[in-house]
Structure 1
C-alpha cells in the first residue's frame, strides 16, 4: 500500500462519524486558509500579478514547502493543492485589501471558531484528533478531503 493510502487510512480512523466528517469538510479548508492568511501578514516582499493580486514571499515559501511534502505522497494531489493554495491566496489578498491592518482579526476569528468546531466534532466522534499522534496529520486533513473527491469522480491519485 502506498504511503498516501496508509496516511489516509490512519486519518480516517478518527473521522468516521457523519457529523465529524461534515464539520471537517467546512473547517479544515478554513483552518488551512487562515494559516496561509497569517503567513501573508508577516512583513516581506510580495509578488503581484494582474487580476490575481499579491502573494508574500513568506506565503510562497510555505506553499513550496507544503507542496514538497505533498509531492512525496502524490504528484496529482500536490498539483491540485498548488492550485487550491493559489486560489486561497487570492482570497487572502482580497481579505487583506478589504480589512487592512485588521485582517489578522479575520484570520484569528476563523482559526479559533473552526478549531472549536473541530474539537466538537472529535468529541462527537469520541476520538482524539490524529495530529496529536503526529503533526504531519495537520497537512493530511486537506488532502484527505481532496482524495475523497478524486475517488468519487474516479481519478486515481
Structure 2
C-alpha cells in the first residue's frame, strides 16, 4: 500500500459521520487558507520585502514538496489551493481588511467547528495521534474531488 493510501485510510477512520465530513469539507480548506494568512502576517526581513515575498510564500515550498511526494495529483491540487489562498490574502489586503485579525477569528471558528464535528463523530481528531495528519486533512479533502473527476491520486 502506498503511503498516501495508508495516511488517507488512517485519517478516514475518524471521518465517517456525514455531519463531520460536511464540517471538514468547509473547515479544512479554510484552515489551510488562514494558516497561510497567519504566516503571511509575520513581519519579513528587508531582503524578502525587496522581492515581495512573505513567510507564507516560503512555507508553501516545503508544504507542496510534501504533497507532491505523496501524490502528483494531490500536489497539483494543493498547488491550486495554495495559489487561491495567497490570492485570497492579497484580496483581503486590497479590501483593507486586517489579514491577522480576520485569520485569527476564522481560525478559531473553524477549529471549534472541527472539534464539534469530532464530538458528533465520537472520535478524536487524527492529528492528536500524529501531527502529520494536519497536512493529510487537505489531501483527504482533495481526494473526494479528484474521485469525482475520475482522477487517480
TM-score by length of 2: 0.92
Between 4-13 and 73-82, the greater mean CA deviation after superposition: 73-82
Please, which of 97, 104, 108 is the counterpart of residue 100 of structure 2?
104
Task: Decide whether the 8 Å contact of 2:89 with 2:99 is kept in 1.
Answer: no
Unmatched runs of 5 consecutive residues or more in structure 2: none
Corresponding residue number in structure 2 for 1:35: 35
SS in 2 for 1:99: coil
Matches within 5 A, 1:3-152: 3-44=3-44, 45-46=48-49, 56-99=53-96, 102-152=98-148
Write out per-residue CA displacement over residues 1-49 of structure 1, whole angstroms, 9 at most, x where no aligned residue. Answer: 111011000000000000000000001111111000011111223588x
Task: Decide whether the 8 Å contact of 2:67 with 2:75 is kept in 1.
Answer: yes
| Runs of 4+ with deviation above 4 angstroms | none
Q: Deviation at 1:57?
A: 3.2
SS in 1 for 2:151: coil
SS in 2 for 1:72: helix
Q: Deviation at 1:153?
A: 1.8
Task: Decide whether the 8 Å contact of 2:20 with 2:118 is kept in 1.
Answer: yes
Q: Deviation at 1:98?
A: 2.2
Write out per-residue CA displacement over residues 38-73 of structure 1, whole angstroms, 9 at most, x where no aligned residue. Answer: 11111223588xxxxx6x331121110101111210
Unmatched runs of 5 consecutive residues or more in structure 1: 49-53
TM-score by length of 1: 0.89
Q: How far apart are the structure 2 equivalents of 1:142 and 1:34?
A: 13
Distance 1:47 1:9, change over 3 A: farther
**What is the aligned length?**
150
Alpha-carbon RMSD across the aligned residues, in angstroms, is 1.6
Q: Deviation at 1:84?
A: 1.5
Q: How far apart are the structure 2 equivalents of 1:8 and 1:92?
A: 29
